[in-house]
Structure 1
Amino acid sequence: MTIRNWVKFFLRAMAIGGGITAIVGLIVRWNFFFGYIQAGEIWQFLGAFLWMIFLGFTMSVVAQMGFFAYLTVHQFGVNMFRTLTLWNWVQMLIIVVVLFDLVVFRFKLSQASTGQTFLYIFLLLTLVAVSAVTAYFKAQWTKKHALISALFFMIVITTLEWLPALMVQSGNRDEWVTILLFPLLAVNAYQLLILPKYNRQSDIDKAELDKRRIERKKVKLQKSAKAK
């Protein structure tokens, strides 16, 4: 990928992360934001809203780091297990283990907290549904064997990026767990589906650049021949 296309890719992912976090944060923490509006503290409201956007930018950077790290892990996995089929089976096993770990160890649900149980079931279904839809379109737009790898990335890598929020035991844990999931899903889906477009554009840009270099070289040679 060329630097220009990488910058576009990076900035658009940042914009998605910031926008999604701001919208979801405003909805989930509406009581907090409405308190500022009710008190007429507009600058405090704007400051808190901008902080949400900045948090989204941070989540976008985390998601992008996770994505490029996964590209390396995926290539390592294919080389290690020799065949893509075997690596896909390993990825499916890891997906099951991660989902089991989420439900049993990370969510820490109890019968006494019905509302919290419904919230985390909703978040789990959102994670799986968005991952499945993204993986489906990835397989349709590229190659069918990309389905399992895309599902692995969307579920396992997103969960790893989400883990710091899940490990918090105090404060408004449920709110932040909810808020941070959505920008991670959105940015990861964007990266997975759009990266091939930027790679193709980079190939076109490189070909055009090489063509211009050859033309400039021809012009220089013609000028040199005339001078002689």
Structure 2
Amino acid sequence: MNSRNWVRLFFSTLLLGGISTAITGFIVRWDKYESLFSSMDVAGILLVLVLLFGVGLIFSIISQMGFFAYLTVHRFGLGIFRSVSLWNAVQVVLILFVLFDIVYFRYRFFAEPGASVIPYISIAVGILLVGALVAYAKKQQTNNEAFIPALFFMIVVTIIEWMPALQINDQNWLYLMLVPLLVCNAYQLLILPKLNAERQTKKS
């Protein structure tokens, strides 16, 4: 990918992160911000919008760091295992391990005595479903071998990027960070082949 496409990817993902965080923020904290809309407090709405957008820029940068880190790790994995099928098997094991951990350890450390484990499972299942949908789209876009790497990125890398909110364990922050990360990660994963295709077209 040339420098022009990298800059395009960087700023478009940055914008997407800011917008998705602003929208998510108003939804998850509607009980707090509803009064701003009911009273038509334009200045207050704009202030919150700017703050949420700024937070979203940070989430977007975290997402982009994770994306380029994964591209490097993926190449290392292919080089070490020297087999796509073996590297994919390792990724599947890591996906299952991380999904189990995100349920087990969050429930163990943060759940109240006697609390249901269902909310903790629900988040993991939600991430899995979103990851599977994006991975399927990636497979349709490229080839069948892209499914597992895309699923790994959408689940494992997203959860690693999500760690700051997981440590706080505040429900609002959990969703405020998770949604933009999923949006930005999916966008980068699906837009990269298009950018590379445009580059090849211009060369020819």
Fold conserved between structures, TM > 0.5:
yes
Task: Name the CA shift for 1:118/1:54 in 2 (closer, same or farther; >3 Å).
Answer: farther
Where does residue 73 of structure 2 map in the other structure? 73
C-alpha deviation, 1:111, in angstroms: 5.7
Where does residue 190 of structure 1 map in the other structure? 187
Unpaired runs of at least 5, structure 2: none
Q: Could you tell me how far apart the structure 2 residues matched to 1:20 and 1:43 are? A: 21
Where does residue 22 of structure 2 map in the other structure? 22
C-alpha deviation, 1:44, in angstroms: 2.9
C-alpha deviation, 1:112, in angstroms: 4.7
1:109 to 108, 111, 119: 111
> Is the Cα contact below 8 Å between 1:106 and 1:167 reproduced in 2?
no
Q: Could you tell me how far apart the structure 1 residues matched to 2:125 and 2:52 are? A: 24
C-alpha deviation, 1:197, in angstroms: 0.6
Q: Larger Rg: 1 or 2? A: 1
Spell out, residue by residue over 1:39-72, the C-alpha distance to the aligned partner (whole angstroms, 9 max, x if none): 6653233212211111111111110110010000
Q: Give the TM-score, by structure 1 length.
A: 0.82
Q: Could you tell me how far apart the structure 1 residues matched to 2:162 and 2:142 are? A: 27
Spell out, residue by residue over 1:61-104, the C-alpha distance to the aligned partner (whole angstroms, 9 max, x if none): 11011001000000101111121111111111110110011001
> Is the Cα contact below 8 Å between 2:158 and 2:182 reproduced in 1?
yes
Where does residue 99 of structure 2 map in the other structure? 99
Where does residue 134 of structure 1 map in the other structure? 134
Q: Give the TM-score, by structure 2 length.
A: 0.90
Q: Could you tell me how far apart the structure 2 residues matched to 1:49 and 1:28 are? A: 14
Q: Could you tell me how far apart the structure 2 residues matched to 1:122 and 1:20 are? A: 21
Where does residue 219 of structure 1 map in the other structure? none
Q: What amino acid sits opposite 2:196 in the alignment?
A: N
Q: What amino acid sits opposite 2:158 in the alignment?
A: T
How many residues are matched?
Answer: 202
Percent pairwise identity? 43
> Is the Cα contact below 8 Å between 2:63 and 2:184 reproduced in 1?
yes
Q: Could you tell me how far apart the structure 1 residues matched to 2:185 and 2:24 are? A: 17
Q: Could you tell me how far apart the structure 1 residues matched to 2:141 and 2:13 are? A: 20
Spell out, residue by residue over 1:158-189, the C-alpha distance to the aligned partner (whole angstroms, 9 max, x if none): 000001100015xxx11000111110001101
C-alpha deviation, 1:16, in angstroms: 1.4
Q: Could you tell me how far apart the structure 2 residues matched to 1:104 and 1:32 are? A: 31
Q: What amino acid sits opposite 2:91 in the alignment?
A: Q
Q: Could you tell me how far apart the structure 1 residues matched to 2:32 and 2:121 are? A: 24
Q: Could you tell me how far apart the structure 1 residues matched to 2:38 and 2:118 are? A: 30
Q: What amino acid sits opposite 1:80 in the alignment?
A: I
C-alpha deviation, 1:38, in angstroms: 5.1
Where does residue 56 of structure 2 map in the other structure? 56
Task: Name the CA shift for 1:44/1:65 in 2 (closer, same or farther; >3 Å).
Answer: same
Q: Could you tell me how far apart the structure 1 residues matched to 2:39 and 2:16 are? A: 30
C-alpha deviation, 1:152, in angstroms: 0.4
CA RMSD of the aligned region, Å?
1.9
Task: Name the CA shift for 1:88/1:76 in 2 (closer, same or farther; >3 Å).
Answer: same
Confirm whether residue 148 of structure 1 aligns to residue 148 of structure 2.
yes
C-alpha deviation, 1:118, in angstroms: 5.5
> Is the Cα contact below 8 Å between 2:150 and 2:189 reproduced in 1?
yes
Where does residue 175 of structure 1 map in the other structure? 172
Point out 4+ residue stretches in structure 1 off by more than 6 angstroms: none
Task: Name the CA shift for 1:180/1:77 in 2 (closer, same or farther; >3 Å).
Answer: same
Say which SS state the counterpart of residue 167 (structure 1) adopts: helix
Q: Could you tell me how far apart the structure 2 residues matched to 1:36 and 1:8 are? A: 35
